[in-house]
Amino acid sequence: MAITAAIVNPARGLAGPAYASRMSDTHDSEETLGAEDPQNPAAKDPSDWVTGDEPMTAPQRSYLDTLAREAGEQLPGDLNKAQASEQIERLQQKSGRGTS
């Protein structure tokens, strides 16, 4: 009986061995996760995001709602992606959630 570990793809949920194979095929040994990388779009300042003026995503809204409630704050519900990201970062620092 073989046991295959499932890999979680945050964008798509659980994936099987085919996803793992694709990931190993495209792995860049020079890449470092968690390091500041000017090539990484997630590392950009939110005000520089191409899609920063689009409405915040559902995951941003949910997490921001949780953080705001925990902080006893109220925020407007019409924030864009960049604004939501900035508020999430601020509230994480305030609550200590964003620290490792």
In a domain, 2, yes or no: no
The boundaries of the domain holding residue 79 are 56-100
pLDDT of amino acid 22? 44
Read off the pLDDT band of 89 (50, 70, 90): very high
- Asked if residue 43 is part of any domain, the answer here is no
Amino acid in the structure at residue 93 = Q
- Overall average pLDDT of the 62-77 stretch: 95
DSSP characters over 42-99 = GGS-GGG-TTTTSBPPHHHHHHHHHHHHHHT----TT-BHHHHHHHHHHHHHHHTTT-
Which pLDDT tens digit goes with each residue over 3-15?
544 444 444 444 4
Q: How many domains does the chain have?
A: 1
Average pLDDT, the chain: 73
**Could you read off the pLDDT of 74-88 as tens digits, one per residue?**
999 999 999 999 999
